[in-house]
Structure 1
Amino acid sequence: MDQLGGVGAGIAIALENFFPPLPSEVILPLAGFAASLGSFTLFGALFWTTLGSIVGALGLYSLGRWVGEARIRRAVDRLPLVDVDDLDRTTEWFRRHGRKAVFFGRMVPIFRSLISIPAGVTRMPIWQFTAFTTAGSLIWNSIFVIAGYQLGENWYRVEPYAETLQYIVIAVVVIAVAYAIVRRMRSKAEHNTDESAGTDK
């Protein structure tokens, strides 16, 4: 961090969007610690890490726009246990609530990166995407950078709390996905049963 400076911290955060195993929860407080040592200013740490968040998010947003909704629909149509109607409902929900999803998504581990792709797929206006990404990223980055700045050499104490939050998010997502799959299987089973009953009649 001393060698790369604030620009290096920004690059690391940009790369985190494409490679989530690079943990922002470690990079950000470390940047704050480096700022407390005078390697660069606190403002510089916040500026460069937030700029890195925006650049990385725009990269995934562009990927989503390039893939497009048509390609996503064709891919979903080939997947078992997934219905194109579900995709349509999800897309419609994102069109209505995309700004809130982007804003709060930037403050949720794992989803910080993923939320940019549906924004691109649904072609959210780029100025809106950039504005809400900036706001959400600035809040998230400020929490960890300032924590590292205040904790100094004890900056690493932030990490266990961030890991706990990440595990909670992963657990919630796994439960939600499992529930959705079970519900889909039951729905298809009931549909097949009704069709069989209709045929017997």
Structure 2
Amino acid sequence: MSVSPAPTAAGELTGVAGWAVGLMESLGGPGAALVVGLDNLFPPLPSELVLPLAGFAAGRGAFSLAGALFWTTLGSVAGAVVVYLVGLRLGHDRMRRLVGRIPLVKTDDFDKTAAWFARHGGKAVFFGRMVPLFRSFISVPAGVERMPFGRFLLYTTAGSLIWNTVFVVAGYLLGENWPVVERYASIFQYVVFALIAVAVGLFVVRRVRERKHV
């Protein structure tokens, strides 16, 4: 009498979640690193979804909890380094010219941002790793402004490890109830997006008014 194999986590999930867990169960830790690394290059694949899944997969025996933390953090850092290198390749002068071509944006805006990053770059990279959307793009100004690579690596690793630990451990402890983590994280994500939309809206209104008075 044959016994059917136990269903895998990927077989019980669909969409991005099923694909992510399937990759983790197939490749183990490197699969988790790959999925998390893609979050930096493809923001619509949010870490708030992927990281609890990594904890869930660890609970299913795909790898250990420590392994999940190691591989997800490695993936976060690797993805951030790729984006950093893109910024490094662009460079300050080329980025300044590109920004100057954006409607309603002045090169002075870029200069002010660059000056701010020169003063607070370390904190921006560290805390930026814990904020949706900013997590994917904060490495660009770090590369553009040529933040020392060792310093960039330190802040990126520290911020990523803290963020990843919260979500991976939550997914590990909740097990089948891991979507609870993603649900509440989505609220935080929507708040961030709303604040960005308000800030952009205020910027556009202010810049249009300035042009009317010229």
Asked if these proteins are the same fold (TM beyond 0.5), I'd say yes
Q: How does 1:147-158 map to 2 (within 5 A)?
A: 147-158=170-181
Name the residue aligned to 1:133. 156
Deviations 1:41-63 (A, max 9, x none): 11000000000000000000000
Q: Which sits farther off after the overlay, 136-145 or 35-44? A: 35-44
Name the residue aligned to 1:46. 69
| Counterpart secondary structure, 1:73 | helix
CA distance in 2, matches of 1:6, 1:33: 13
C-alpha displacement at 1:184, in angstroms? 1.7
Give structure 1 stretches of 5+ with no counterpart. Answer: 193-201
Deviations 1:110-164 (A, max 9, x none): 1111101011111111111100000100011000000011001111211111111
CA distance in 1, matches of 2:30, 2:100: 43
| Counterpart secondary structure, 2:131 | coil
Deviations 1:3-32 (A, max 9, x none): 121110011111111011112112111111
| Counterpart secondary structure, 2:25 | coil
TM-score by length of 1: 0.92
Match of 1:173 among 183, 187, 196: 196
Name the residue aligned to 2:113. 90
Give structure 2 stretches of 5+ with no counterpart. Answer: 1-23
Over aligned residue pairs, what C-alpha RMSD do you find?
1.0
CA distance in 2, matches of 1:20, 1:82: 24
Q: Relative contact order: is structure 1 or structure 2 higher (C-alpha 8 Å, sep ≥ 6)?
A: 1
What percent identity do the matched residue pairs reach? 60
Q: How many residues align?
A: 191
C-alpha displacement at 1:78, in angstroms? 2.3
Q: 1:143 is aligned with what amino acid?
A: V
Q: Which sits farther off after the overlay, 5-14 or 181-190? A: 181-190
Match of 2:169 among 138, 143, 146: 146
Name the residue aligned to 1:57. 80
Name the residue aligned to 2:19. none
